[in-house]
Amino acid sequence: MKKKIVVIGGGFAGVSFTEKIDFKKYDVILIDKLNHHQFQPLFYQVATSQIEPSSISFPLRYIFKENKSIQIRMAEVYGVLPEQNKIETSIGNFDYDFLVIATGCKTNFFNNKIIEQNALTLKSTYDAIAIRNHIISVFEKLIIANNDEAEFLKNIVIVGAGPTGVELAGAFAEIKCEILPKDYPGIDFSKLSIYLIEGSKHTLNSMSDTAQKASYTYLIKMGVKIFTETFVKSYDGKVAEFNDGTKLPTSTLIWAAGVLGNKIEGLPDNLWLSNNRIKVNRFNQIIGFENIFALGDIAFMQTEKYPNGHPQVANVAINQAKLLAKNLNKIYSNKMLYEFEYKDLGAMATIGRNKAVVDLPFLKFKGYFAWLVWIFLHLMYILTIRNKLIIFINWTWSYLTKNSSLRLILKSEKD
């Protein structure tokens, strides 16, 4: 008789695991509060009107349409009942033989409630659309604003100079120079300022010196104002206050400064770290449980190479998911399991047209070739041929014309 696996989360880890499990041995229930998988590395391009949200969103039922051993359920998971081998959700309880938790992360505001209430975030397709709507609405207001209102509208603040922050800042800088003057000839865009605020000493602080220096140089040349070793202490929706007392009027503050795991209730508190990652062993088993596993961003696994846990990136999630699927197939046959060992393949970020940085284990490089590598690898990870083509056509059109037709405000009148 086939055993039942419940997978919580349809991100990189959840989808990769479900694709690799042996359905002759297991039935799978995949549960997510959304009905689609999201390609997070390109959220910033939706936010800056370069691609449509449908290009990076993949319905879970479509991904697994050929497999009758998978059930998809759209629900919010409230908690785990480990003694009963059950989970509680918004649509009822589900039994499991094995539970795989792959709930990913949310934005970390470091307990600053006023910033949480007023800042924009970029952790979902919906967030990306909200930023796009907000930014274009700002320009519509700016064209009729008086001097006092213009001072408040003309500053865009991005907090966090990791890949998301750097890519957003570069995209906004290009739009400011190449596109917005054509759409709004009545606005002097030389007075529009893009600020990138970073608490550490460098942009792309987790990457190589080459990437840090190149990204900083590129952004400065593009007109981005960068403040390192600086923290945003408060933001009330109108004024951002920094830790040195500086106050900056702005209607737009995008928070990309950290992540926090999406915690699930019901598991022992002593297994959770302060950033909501849960302790797992080298097989991704949650410590103390034989049949409950955690994958990807939410899993904290200590190894010799990674004593502080693995980086919270897609490659880790995908590789852990594939190995866990292989191990569960082995568990069914009572075979020896493989321990997880992450081989870091590198990191990359794009700063704009013909500008990117790539860190490989054996080579660090920047510029046009790095930009081509970034394009190729991101297209490879897009799930369907149709979406690969759509994104490639959009990118090609934007590259040749320095323009796009995607600057639409799509929201309800009630908003």
Could you report the average pLDDT of every consecutive run of 10 residues in the chain (415 residues)?
94 96 94 95 93 92 91 97 97 97 96 96 95 92 87 95 96 91 87 96 95 97 97 96 95 95 96 96 96 97 94 95 94 85 93 95 94 94 88 87 72 66
What pLDDT does residue 218 have?
A: 98
Q: Please state the domain extents for the chain.
A: 3-33+75-106+259-332, 113-257
Q: What is the C-alpha separation between 94 and 99, in angstroms, rounded?
A: 10
Q: What is the largest CA-CA distance in the chain?
A: 73
Question: What CATH number has the domain spanning 113-257?
Answer: 3.50.50.100
Backbone angles phi, psi at 413, to 5 degrees: -60, -25
One-letter amino acid of 209: D
CA dist list (Å): 173 to 121, 157, 194: 19, 12, 7
Task: List, in order, residues 6 or more apart from 157 with CB less than 8 Å away.
Answer: 195, 197, 232, 240, 248, 250, 252, 253, 254
- How far apart, in whole angstroms, are the C-alpha atoms of residue 42 and residue 382? 10
Task: Report yes or no: 32 and 9 within 8 Å, Cβ to Cβ.
Answer: yes
pLDDT confidence of residue 327:
95
Specify the pLDDT at position 415: 60
Q: What pLDDT sits at residue 350?
A: 96
* The pLDDT value given to residue 366: 96
DSSP state letter for 40? G
Identify the pLDDT of residue 336. Answer: 85
Domain pair 3-33+75-106+259-332 / 113-257, same fold: yes
Per-residue pLDDT at 411: 72
CATH architecture of 3-33+75-106+259-332: 3-Layer(bba) Sandwich (3.50)
